[in-house]
A and B are shown apart, each in its own frame.
Chain A
Amino acid sequence: MIKQERMQVVKQQQIAHHIFELTVQGALANEMAEPGQFVHIRVADSFEPLLRRPISVASIDLEASQFTMIYRAEGRGTGLLAEKKLGDTIDVLGPLGHGFPIEAAEKKAYLIGGGIGVPPLYELAKQLNARGIQTVHILGFESKQAVFYEEKFRELGETHIATVDGSHGTQGFVTHILNELPTDFDTYYSCGPTPMLEAVQWAYPQKKGFLSYEQRMGCGIGACFACVCRTTKSETDYIKVCSDGPVFPAGVVIS
């Protein structure tokens, strides 16, 4: 069920260039059901900035009623979020949207992420591993400075890193790594920039895949029609990234 709650900051730290890890605690955390869902955060009690910020959830700890978000502090809103300190409270609305279906994977899954699309794959990897699914992680970043959670992913399975400038791992995009890897997996999950999602979709037309999309949002709950995309289902039909997604089966969204 969607809740709005002032959640308490229990951890806030910078983990890479402009990348922050923020853990909050509160009853809302117990509503988290699927990896890939997101929350909508009001970063200030004033009306400047006005709109909430959609932030993805990187890991969930139901026992402690906590969840962790990883975000890039680049604009005014996320900049203010990065200033939140231990003990501060944050207005959180969530959980929102539909996440990755973990039951879809059978034996082995590829998790393919780019930049700030990497965080939700971490909770996904944890939950898939808990079900006995082998996960292979292919993660792309701008440069070595921007890489985060590499070791955490390695603890859960085979992990490959690509950086655009080649300062760490393979030089190039995640697709460069995918070209070298076997195709002995049954399901793939991907989150990142839309061109990356497109490329992944093209790479595995015969495989079962789930893609998490990004779109500018207004309300975050499906009322404002800001984040709609066309769908392959019909010419007049549409989907809302915030409430129908952000995760869709491959082949559904026309981007």
Chain B
Amino acid sequence: MSDLTVKLPGLNLKNPIMPASGCFGFGKEYAQLYDLSQLGAIMIKATTVETRFGNPTPRVAETASGMLNAIGLQNPGLEKVTEQELPWLEQYDVPIIANVAGTTTEDYVEVAKMISQSPNVHALEINISCPNVKQGGITFGTDPDVARELTRAVKEVSAVPVYIKLSPNVTNIVSIAKAVEEGGADGITMINTLLGMRMDTKTGRPIIANITGGLSGPAIKPVALRMVYEVSQHTKLPIIGMGGVTNVDDVIDFLSAGASAVAVGTANFVNPFVCPEIIGQLPERLHELGFDSVEQLVGRSHRL
């Protein structure tokens, strides 16, 4: 039997598969469909200090093998997440990675400090890469100096290891990765969505009310793989890879490129059982490829 376990800062994962933040809410909806304890971890929806309503609708549009979204970090706010959502998730034997968002450094620090103290939160994912909010978010993720300082500030207050979620919407993603490593990050998650748009051909208007949205789904997998491959060669930080993962072979590809674990995003909308299905198929696929463990696969492309 292949060994699916993965050890990362703060995270002893029974398998390397986790739903990506923003695609899984706080788990309640998918808990109607399967036992969440099967998952390696859950990256819960971004949490901000205050309740956020998010952007106007329409918020999603389909594109070729992908989708655009501009939800705008809608969430119930720090207080409700720590008092209601996280305690509810404690019934499952699954580590939680809390996604932290904000518009100022102080926001990030406040959310990180509080949420990292929740008993089932084992790591933070700092969202410096959301393309769908006008202030903050992505601006923290496109300037290496700003990213470094934010990482430092969050690290200082967090009770658990800190992973920084990188944006692909930059010229040089390696420089951002190096900056957050200097800032003391424990790991990297990548990639967030690619900024895009779609027009209504009849009217000439953008379909998404926010005009632009974040592109996700199978269409972005080549970009995500390339970035994981590049970044993993220039930093010692472990990487949780994501971007267009839909099946077990996509997981193999991300591990080969240098990711230590893999998050599944948009594919949950297409097949709500995709995460447990991949977990179920992973041992046999590893065996077919001649590997005994997930860890043997990590970064194999660099060793060839």
Contact = CB atoms under 8 A, between A and B. Distances in A.
B67 A218 contact: yes
A219 B268 contact: yes
B271 A42 contact: yes
Contacts of B218: 47, 50
Interface in A219-240: 219-230, 236, 238
A217 B74 CA distance: 15
Nearest to A93: B272
A13 to B, nearest CB: 27
A2 B28 CA distance: 13
Interface in B260-304: 266, 268-273
Contacts of A225: 25, 45, 54, 59, 71, 74
Contacts of A223: 23-25, 29-30, 268
Contacts of A48: 64-65
A52 B53 contact: no
Interface residues of A, number: 31
Classify the secondary structure of A's interface with B.
loop
B10 interface: no
Interface string B11-42: 00000000000111100111011000000000
- Overall SS of chain B's interface: loop
Interface string B32-70: 110000000000010000010110011111111111010
A145 interface: no
Interface in A1-37: 1-2, 4
B246 interface: yes
Contacts of B63: 50
Contact of A216 (B22, B61, B217): B61
10 contacts: A48-B64, A51-B67, A217-B60, A221-B32, A222-B28, A223-B25, A224-B22, A226-B59, A228-B74, A238-B53
5 tightest CB-CB pairs across the interface, nearest first? A223-B25, A223-B29, A226-B60, A216-B58, A219-B269
Interface of A: 1-2, 4, 42, 47-52, 77, 93, 215-230, 236, 238, 243
Given A51-B60, A225-B71, A226-B71, 9 more contacts: A4-B272, A50-B67, A219-B23, A224-B23, A224-B269, A227-B57, A228-B54, A236-B51, A243-B29
